Amino acid sequence: MSLSSTSSLAACVWIPLFPLRCEEARHEGLAAYPTALLAPDTTRKLWQISPLARHAGVKPGMTVSQAIGLCPTLRLIEPDPVHYDDCFARVLAALNEVSPVVEPAELGLAYVGTDGLKGIFGEPQKIIDAIRLTVGQSDGRTVRLGYGLGKFVAWVAATRSKPDDAVIVPLGGEKAFLASQPISVLPLDSDTHRRLRQLGIRTLGALAALPEEAVTAQFGAMGRRLWRLAAGRIAEPVEGRIAPEPIVAALTFFTPVGERELLAHALDQLIARALKHPRRIGWRVHAVRLRADLEGSSSWLAAILLKDPTADAERIAAPLKTRLEQSSPTGAVERLVLEFTDFAPGTSELQLFARDAQAAARAGQQRALQSAAREIRMRVQRSPLYHIVEVQPWSRLPERRYALIDYEP
């Protein structure tokens, strides 16, 4: 349901410690103190640390008591993920003023497609200036900027830039630029990072100097990707997305609610309400956000990307309920808001189901299923609908385990 456009030239906009910067922006004078933001999932641990607190020996992941022991003047802040999300949405909207191709990566990190912007702004430095001016206007936080061919080069350039500065990698200079960079800029898990260091590989240049096949043999498909990134052979384009207007269902509680069962019940109601929205008919839900306004002006947020888009209430609810169980809101909930933020079309057969789904809701699912199956059979002159049935699920021979049988509702 979302349109996309791409750009091979990329500018990376990185605002490190974005949530903490949001807090500093709304609490005047906070930046002058050692500060730590509590983790959204468990308030007993620290999530982000200000440079002053880090200087005192405080580290992310520490417990509150450990941190206070090291730095008695430490100021602890309850997380407000909904506020950070809103702030980042404003940054993205501002970037959209410069380029229509903007791809958010994570809170505080976004890529701007710059193909064609030369005609408007001029040389890359002018484009970077325009981006900095725009983000600065909406935000005022320390921004690091990188510019180059593809997202990876732009990201590495941004990590190398000084605060409020930019590193521009000229076209054709990617390989030389990447060669001297440390391997920590690669998207590595800690195990691969350790193995590479044990092999004496410390820079992208050292990795790219190895034969591609040897790296692939050692590290598999991921190794091949890492090698290609290091050698500047991959230039992943920026993919801008025009997001659809979300479908929103909200519930304000008479009195703040803390019981998980009650929240889960409210969630079921919200999902049922959102699924009935006329704009949802004919589409499966791909991305869901559940946010909660908590007592004491903090908030809670869960964003889920469904692996298999679905219109089934239980399958939408399951990951959200798991999140409610595992990292429940840290306070009583005053308002619960559900948003369907991305959608996926069904197959052509599903679209037939979808076309008169509202009628289906009135007449009953079974009858709608029968008529949709009949219509499909008439159109394609055969029934392409099957049950998958278990035949010998225990069999060691894969072809014996399951079979298809005509579906006749």
Partner 1 sequence: MVTSSRTPLRTDRLRAVNEPQPVAVDLDESGLMTVGRPDGRTVGKVEAILESWRIDDEWWRRTIARNYMEVMLEGGKRMVLFQDLLTGQWFAQMP
Closest approach, Cβ 312 to partner 1, in A, equals: 11
**Interaction between residue 409 and partner 1 (CB under 8 A):** yes
Closest approach, Cβ 182 to partner 1, in A, equals: 25
Closest approach, Cβ 265 to partner 1, in A, equals: 25
Q: How far apart are CA 283 and CA 275, in angstroms?
A: 10
**Interaction between residue 401 and partner 1 (CB under 8 A):** yes
Instruction: Find tokens 């960079």 and name the residue.
Output: 181
**Interaction between residue 59 and partner 1 (CB under 8 A):** no
C-beta of 171 vs 397, nearer to partner 1: 397
List 202, 326, 386, 392, residue binding partner 1 (CB under 8 A) = 386
What string marks each residue from 212 to 251 as x (binds partner 1 by CB under 8 A) or -?
-x--xx--xx--xx--------------------------
C-beta of 176 vs 404, nearer to partner 1: 404
Instruction: Find tokens 């417990």 and name the residue.
Output: 63
Using CB atoms within 10 Å of the CB of residue 211, give its burial: 0 to 12 exposed, 13 to 18 middle, 19+ buried.
exposed
Residue 49 has phi, psi (to 5 degrees) of -125, 135
Closest approach, Cβ 52 to partner 1, in A, equals: 45
**Interaction between residue 380 and partner 1 (CB under 8 A):** no
Closest approach, Cβ 367 to partner 1, in A, equals: 13
8 Å CB contact between 163 and 18:
no
Strand-pairing partners, residue 302, are 290
Nearest CA to 22 out of 142, 144, 164 is that of 142
Reading the block at residue 112, the tokens are 């701007």
Q: How many residues interact with partner 1 (rule CB under 8 A)?
A: 26
List 86, 259, 325, 406, residue binding partner 1 (CB under 8 A) = 406
List 106, 245, 261, 399, residue binding partner 1 (CB under 8 A) = 399
Spatial CB neighbours of 280, under 8 Å, sequence gap ≥ 6: 247, 274, 311, 340, 343
Selected range binding partner 1 among 27-35, 54-62, 279-287, 399-407, rule: CB under 8 A: 399-407
H/E run at residue 194: helix 190-198
8 Å CB contact between 3 and 241:
yes
Q: Which of residues 350-379 bind partner 1 (CB under 8 A)?
A: none
Q: How far apart are CA 236 and CA 223, in angstroms?
A: 17
Q: How far apart are CA 1 and CA 167, in angstroms?
A: 36
Closest approach, Cβ 173 to partner 1, in A, equals: 27
Closest approach, Cβ 376 to partner 1, in A, equals: 14
Closest approach, Cβ 350 to partner 1, in A, equals: 12
8 Å CB contact between 29 and 43:
no
Closest approach, Cβ 357 to partner 1, in A, equals: 17
C-beta of 89 vs 391, nearer to partner 1: 391
- Going from the C-alpha of 389 to that of each of 385, 386, 401, the distances in angstroms are 13, 9, 9
C-beta of 230 vs 337, nearer to partner 1: 230
Selected range binding partner 1 among 88-96, 272-280, 342-350, 392-400, rule: CB under 8 A: 392-400
Q: Which of residues 157-216 bind partner 1 (CB under 8 A)?
A: 213, 216
Q: How far apart are CA 204 and CA 226, in angstroms?
A: 9
Nearest CA to 146 out of 134, 163, 133 is that of 163
Q: Where are the beta strands (DSSP E) in 114-153?
A: 144-149
C-beta of 184 vs 383, nearer to partner 1: 383
Instruction: Find tokens 């958010």 and name the residue.
Output: 104
List 93, 361, 387, 392, residue binding partner 1 (CB under 8 A) = 387
Residue 113 has phi, psi (to 5 degrees) of -75, 130
Closest approach, Cβ 399 to partner 1, in A, equals: 5
Binding site residues, partner 1, CB under 8 A: 213, 216-217, 220-221, 224-225, 385-389, 391, 396-399, 401-409
